[in-house]
């Protein structure tokens, strides 16, 4: 059990499946208390039940990250019950790729609302508590697409690039409070992200790509553990990782 993870209170959005679920399981095993937010309450509660049955501490709260009040309520509940929030993992995201010429305005709005504003709402919810504590760790999820743009990924890449920019600005601003910041940029990692693609032809191409290259969600969890487990005077600011075979 890692001494810099055990006992920490970790809030995770997008926790009902994929990267968020894998991270919740990994951190719980290492002694963290996990406070889980997502829209699918049944899956969240099943995860909480499994974690607590194994001796862990976990709490679930229905959370739509496009609603700032719900994100604030998630973090506030963590603080009310457990006394503090040590880590905020802004993980919720979606990836409805499509060429711009298809004019998928609803998809564009959803990506901006979830991938970008959802991260900002997470920061807004956690930051005041961490400032009062003079400690904390905010972990934001970007993507390889936040480093490289490909046809069909323009809006998604824009949101993920913005997450990196916001994270760097946050890093500099929170120095007086002893708060650490990390931005994770995964490549193809198994999750339900591909299911958010609304164009059938694009979805099939992404499905084939993930079937060939994707690595397990637990890989992402190990990156979170690595960043969290460093001594308090070490701030891992960015981790970019891919499957070994992924070229893009």
Whether 38 is in a domain gets the answer yes
Whether 58 is in a domain gets the answer yes
Q: Write down the catalytic residue from 156, 177, 210, 213.
A: 156
121 is catalytic: no
Whether 207 is in a domain gets the answer no
- CATH code, domain carrying 187: 3.40.50.720
Domain count, the chain: 1
Whether 107 is in a domain gets the answer yes
Domain containing residue 161: 9-196+225-241
Whether 47 is in a domain gets the answer yes
Whether 247 is in a domain gets the answer no
Q: Which two tokens stand for residue 243?
A: 């499957």
Whether 3 is in a domain gets the answer no
Whether 248 is in a domain gets the answer no
Q: For residue 2, what pLDDT is reported? A: 59
Per-residue pLDDT of the chain (248 residues; tens, 9 = 90+): 557 999 999 999 999 989 999 999 999 999 999 999 999 999 999 999 999 999 999 999 999 999 999 999 999 999 999 999 999 999 999 999 999 999 999 999 999 999 999 999 999 999 999 999 999 999 999 999 999 999 999 999 999 999 999 999 999 999 999 999 999 999 989 887 777 888 888 889 888 888 888 899 999 999 999 999 999 999 999 999 999 988 88
């Amino acid at each position: 059990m890692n001494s810099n993870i055990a006992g920490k209170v970790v809030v995770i959005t997008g926790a009902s499946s994929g990267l968020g679920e894998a991270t919740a399981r990994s951190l719980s095993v290492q002694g963290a208390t996990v406070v889980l937010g997502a829209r699918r309450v049944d899956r969240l509660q099943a995860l909480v039940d499994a974690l607590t049955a194994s001796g862990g501490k976990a709490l679930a709260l229905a959370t739509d990250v496009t609603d700032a009040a719900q994100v604030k309520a998630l973090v506030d509940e963590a603080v009310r019950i457990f006394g503090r929030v040590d880590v905020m993992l802004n993980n919720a995201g979606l990836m409805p790729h499509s060429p711009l010429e298809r004019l998928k305005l609803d998809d564009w709005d959803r990506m901006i609302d979830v991938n970008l504003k959802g991260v900002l709402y997470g920061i807004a919810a956690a930051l005041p508590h961490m400032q009062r504590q003079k400690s904390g760790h905010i972990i934001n999820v970007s993507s390889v697409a936040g480093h490289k743009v490909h046809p069909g990924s323009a809006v998604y890449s824009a949101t993920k690039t913005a997450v990196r920019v916001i994270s760097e600005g946050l890093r500099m601003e929170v120095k007086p409070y002893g708060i650490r910041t990390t931005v994770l940029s995964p490549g193809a990692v198994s999750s339900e992200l591909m299911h958010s693609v609304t164009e059938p032809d694009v979805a099939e191409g992404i499905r084939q790509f993930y079937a060939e290259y994707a690595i397990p969600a637990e890989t992402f969890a190990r990156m979170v553990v690595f960043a969290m487990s460093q001594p308090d005077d070490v701030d891992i600011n960015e981790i970019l990782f891919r499957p070994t075979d992924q070229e893009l």
